[in-house]
Structure 1
């Protein structure tokens, strides 16, 4: 069982210049398109594969009922093209709450720290909330 504080996964990620430009164009960040500093939400590129594994294999959530709650980034240094990062994902909380329309929903908060492989300095911290909505009950059935 995964509990708050558990390290879920660690991986390495290289901030590639081409990916930074591609992402900057996709989010219409004209300031980052020709710069070596990644757009503020770029860490999602480094954590996307982890998030998919978290939802499907680590926690076994029902993908059809899973939604993105929120995502926050806290920067300590700029993330630049060419940076080699060591990424560490941690479970912050996994709670069951009563939804406004009845039923229960699962609210999971994770944190990913992106550290410079060269210096060990913390570059960015990403906090993400994922919600698994309550199953919809059909007439005469229980979820």
Structure 2
């Protein structure tokens, strides 16, 4: 089981104009136009999708029938534009068992993803995601 502070995965992502268009349509971003080169605000979720799948099925396996996405926050340090190459690195911030307000326990997992420009190493974006797995019935 990974420890707090451990790097859980790394990957690269090319920001393509067509993917920006598809993402904007998928999230209903009506302000995005075909001549826009800046990524919609939550575009990095498309870059981390494969990692997140591995996270919940292999790295920190959770029971999806008892798991909810608790929160997601983004801190942008530079614009993400078509043509950029991003390097993502995910790190475990915490993995704790807490008592729920209605009794029972829940596992609360927090992961930070740092994106850097792959060509310059300049920081671009930091995401923090929280995943909550509730206690199995009958425990």
Shorter-chain TM range is over 0.9
Partner of 1:25: 25
Partner of 1:140: none
TM-score (norm 1): 0.92
Q: Is the 8 A contact 1:25 1:33 kept in 2?
A: no
Pairwise mapping of residues 2-81 of structure 1 onto structure 2 (< 5 A)?
Answer: 2-34=2-34, 35-81=36-82
How far residue 33 of structure 1 moved from its aligned partner, in angstroms, is 3.4
Cα RMSD (Å) of the superposition?
1.0
How far residue 53 of structure 1 moved from its aligned partner, in angstroms, is 0.7
How far residue 30 of structure 1 moved from its aligned partner, in angstroms, is 2.2
Q: Which moves more between the two structures, 21-30 or 71-80?
A: 21-30
1:35-57 CA-partner distances (Å, limit 9, x unpaired): 11011011110111111111111
Give unmatched runs, 5+ long, in structure 1: 138-142
Rg larger for: 1
User: Does residue 1:97 correspond to 2:98, yes or no?
Assistant: yes
User: Does residue 1:120 correspond to 2:139, yes or no?
Assistant: no
Moved over 6 A (4+): none
Partner of 2:130: 129
Alignment length (residue pairs): 138
How far residue 115 of structure 1 moved from its aligned partner, in angstroms, is 0.4
TM-score (norm 2): 0.95
